[in-house]
Structure 1
Amino acid sequence: MRATGEAPGADEVRGLDVPGMHAREPEHWASEALGAVLDRVALSHVEVGARFPLFADPGTGRWTTTGRGSWTGGFWAGLLWLRARHTGDERDRAAATECTARLAPWAEADTATRGLILWYGTALADRDPGADALKARAARACLRDFDPELRLVPWGAALGGPRLLARADGVPGLVPLLATENATAADAHLRTHLDLCVHGPGGPRPAWQWDTASWQQCEDPPPDWARGRAWLLLAVADALLAAESPAATQLVHEALELLLPHPDEPLVPPAHAGLGDGPLDTSAAAITAVALAKLALLRDSRSAWYAERARDVLHRLVSAHLVDGRLLDGCYDAGSGTAVRHQLVWGDFFLALGLAALTGLVDLTAV
């Protein structure tokens, strides 16, 4: 199926209830698209079995999988939890519970992507003692790995490469996960990454490496990496939405201004702006849509614009890139040419999460 339909007006958003917007039932496109994505999750669950999906061929739909989940395993668990919430079926809940339990080896792994794995893999688990215990265990382990001199949890060596990195994708998820144990450490982790990745010398860079006495710019990923910007915007939205967070100060507000998409920017960005006719990245767009939907909950003067832009991005993804419940045109790694127009498990997750918020299935303050 390819979902179609005209974009709704800005007053037709339910779940993104902001001042000046009359909450009504959304058009059927959002509910239908969410159902299609979550029906596809059920089919994918049969296909991958006890493995974790990573990316799928745009033509055949066949998944490339991993045994332990890599940095994306939490998004697969999150999709299963979204399906369980959508259907209310105990079998779907059991599948989500079983998948989340298989994330346990990552709790003590040396990687900042534990935020992506163990926050998004547990945050949607309703009244699940195992998921709650795993989240708490992971938060304690991440706090133990917090480096007080560098003021962050290092990127880590579990996925290979240098350990003492600060990367944009090591921020989302990890900040709220750390905050469940120690708000000061969580704020320091966020501030350090914003200081480097957004306000760093020489301009924004998504990755930095510690070299003896100072941080040095990394060439990969490059500065125009769309997903890096989206990850940081999501982290900033989370910080601003956590009203009690002391990080919600001038630094975070300044970062927000630099990370927000300009109204004239395309709804679905290129994976790297400097690649000309290179691939798009629908996963970056889906992450951005969720970040904007969270910002809409701040109830400030731009809430209506945040909500409208989030809805427009979601509608574009559904109308132009969703085929048979599969979000295509995601870019895993443009530099190496890996899966550059594919279905990506985290792209599906953030699309489903955004649609779930739009239709009222999920409260974004809890995710």
Structure 2
Amino acid sequence: MSRSDFISARERMLVRIAQTRDASTAGLPHWARTVDGKWTFTSDGDWTGGAFVGQLWLAHLADPLRFPISDAKAALARMLPRAERRTAFKGFGFYHGAALGSILFGEETARDAAFTAARSLEQMFDPKLGLIPLGQDAEEASAVGIAESSIDSLQATGLLYWAADQLGDSHMEEVANTHMRRVLELHVRPDNSVIQSSTLDPQTGKVLRTHTHKGYSDVSTWGRAQGWAMLYTAHAAMVRPKQPLWRQYAVRVLDWWIHHVPADLVAYWDFDDPAIPTTSRDTAATAIAAAASLRLASALGPGDGAKYQAFAERTVAQLACGYLTPIGPGDRRPLGMLTGGCFTRKADARDIDTAPDAELIFGSYFLFESLVILTGLVPTGRI
């Protein structure tokens, strides 16, 4: 795709963002039906709502008249009750939904909300486990609490690193580093694939079992497990260039993805589902991979990073051409939907997370973020 094609895809997504904003009068979008684009909303955003707030910050950058900054601030206000809940996953929402507003526009309300969430995450750190556990309010169907961990909990690190920089807080920095190191040690396998979850002994931190909340099986590689590992190691490599460990991990898990993703670059929901190639794809995991690749390209620089820059561009092109509506003539669905997202196919997931073929708001966020970067609205490495 050319730059003009990326711009065209970005503009399609802006149409969808405006439609979603106009429909989101009380809650925040979670997932939408592929057939007609109708959203399922949550009152406070659940773990995903910050992705939509993040879209609104970026949309203001792209078209400030159509997307006044008050849109993002109003959506962020709906998330604020989550800032001190005991869940490691709030790092995702308050980085993209709040810290982003401070980074791009110096918004004080957004900065304060992000600080509140970051301090709460810092206080959740358990030295016996060497990490921030999922927490009693974590958004999973089961197996959450004081001694449960998952690769998803790396979502805390982007927010912690940003807040540590802003506050000059060395303890918060150490919490982020220790948490990240421990979670990666627990969940990145020797072959560089990723297992989603683990149960620990609350007194010793010893691993009692590894498993998956959302993948095919306890020994499979769920697409988004690999995706979160790629995203947050690459983000850490970008914001902490003097720490080679994060670059090493990012290269390992991203290279695994590159070597195992299908030829069309759009991942299946789980790399080990025996029903491949007739099972669900997951465009959300694929969009995360693109965003991770752009971060790693920035961290490595124009030489070593060229491989990952090119992979990100090819991945975004595949999503834009094959899954971003309209996909072909006569497609009457809302413009700019990223179709083909799979929350999970597991029957024991939360009812709100069982969509196997949908637009997932976080997948749409990461595709839009990638397009914003590829079209030059945000410099590589800034967010």
TM (norm. structure 1) is 0.87
**1:11 matched residue in structure 2:** none
State the alpha-carbon separation in 2 of the partners of residues 285 and 318 from structure 1.
Answer: 12
Once the two structures are TM-superposed, the CA of residue 233 in structure 1 deviates from its matched residue by 0.4
**2:332 matched residue in structure 1:** none
State the alpha-carbon separation in 2 of the partners of residues 292 and 33 from structure 1.
Answer: 19
Q: 1:187 aligns with which of 162, 167, 177?
A: 177
State the alpha-carbon separation in 1 of the partners of residues 128 and 190 from structure 2.
Answer: 18
**1:366 matched residue in structure 2:** 382
**1:308 matched residue in structure 2:** 310
**1:35 matched residue in structure 2:** 11
Q: Which moved more, 1:213-222 or 1:327-336?
A: 213-222
**1:351 matched residue in structure 2:** 367
Note if contact 2:221-2:270 (Cα within 8 Å) is conserved in structure 1.
Answer: yes
**1:114 matched residue in structure 2:** 90
**1:283 matched residue in structure 2:** 284
**1:334 matched residue in structure 2:** 345
Once the two structures are TM-superposed, the CA of residue 202 in structure 1 deviates from its matched residue by 12
Note if contact 1:169-1:231 (Cα within 8 Å) is conserved in structure 2.
Answer: yes
1:232 counterpart = 2:229: yes
Deviations 1:57-81 (A, max 9, x none): 1111111111111000100100111
Once the two structures are TM-superposed, the CA of residue 263 in structure 1 deviates from its matched residue by 4.8
Q: Which moved more, 1:154-163 or 1:38-47?
A: 154-163
Deviations 1:235-283 (A, max 9, x none): 110111123554x32x751463144223563211100122222100000
Unaligned runs of 5+ in 1: 1-6, 9-25
Deviations 1:91-144 (A, max 9, x none): 521010111122111111000001111111123311211001111111111111
1:209 counterpart = 2:199: yes
Once the two structures are TM-superposed, the CA of residue 177 in structure 1 deviates from its matched residue by 1.5
State the alpha-carbon separation in 1 of the partners of residues 271 and 241 from structure 2.
Answer: 36
Note if contact 1:233-1:288 (Cα within 8 Å) is conserved in structure 2.
Answer: yes
By relative contact order (CA 8 Å, sep 6+), the higher-ranking structure is 1
State the alpha-carbon separation in 1 of the partners of residues 373 and 235 from structure 2.
Answer: 15
Cα distance 1:199–1:273, how it changes in 2: closer, same or farther (>3 A)? closer
2:272 partner SS: helix
Note if contact 1:194-1:255 (Cα within 8 Å) is conserved in structure 2.
Answer: no
Cα distance 1:53–1:169, how it changes in 2: closer, same or farther (>3 A)? same
**2:159 matched residue in structure 1:** 177
**2:266 matched residue in structure 1:** 268
Once the two structures are TM-superposed, the CA of residue 204 in structure 1 deviates from its matched residue by 3.7
1:63 counterpart = 2:56: no
Letter in 1 for 2:365: F
Letter in 1 for 2:34: P
1:218 counterpart = 2:211: yes
Letter in 2 for 1:63: W
State the alpha-carbon separation in 2 of the partners of residues 103 and 342 from structure 1.
Answer: 23
State the alpha-carbon separation in 1 of the partners of residues 110 and 6 from structure 2.
Answer: 28
State the alpha-carbon separation in 2 of the partners of residues 200 and 110 from structure 1.
Answer: 31
Percent identity, please: 28
CA RMSD between the two structures: 2.1
Once the two structures are TM-superposed, the CA of residue 234 in structure 1 deviates from its matched residue by 0.6
State the alpha-carbon separation in 1 of the partners of residues 239 and 316 from structure 2.
Answer: 24
1:273 partner SS: coil
Note if contact 1:183-1:245 (Cα within 8 Å) is conserved in structure 2.
Answer: no
State the alpha-carbon separation in 2 of the partners of residues 364 and 210 from structure 1.
Answer: 38
Q: Which moved more, 1:233-242 or 1:313-322?
A: 233-242
Q: 1:87 aligns with which of 63, 66, 76?
A: 63
Note if contact 2:196-2:212 (Cα within 8 Å) is conserved in structure 1.
Answer: no
Note if contact 1:187-1:245 (Cα within 8 Å) is conserved in structure 2.
Answer: no
1:121 partner SS: helix
2:35 partner SS: coil
**2:331 matched residue in structure 1:** none
Cα distance 1:85–1:138, how it changes in 2: closer, same or farther (>3 A)? same
State the alpha-carbon separation in 2 of the partners of residues 91 and 317 from structure 1.
Answer: 24
State the alpha-carbon separation in 2 of the partners of residues 103 and 360 from structure 1.
Answer: 29
State the alpha-carbon separation in 2 of the partners of residues 278 and 90 from structure 1.
Answer: 39
Q: How many residues align?
A: 340
State the alpha-carbon separation in 1 of the partners of residues 272 and 198 from structure 2.
Answer: 20
1:209 partner SS: strand
State the alpha-carbon separation in 2 of the partners of residues 316 and 90 from structure 1.
Answer: 28
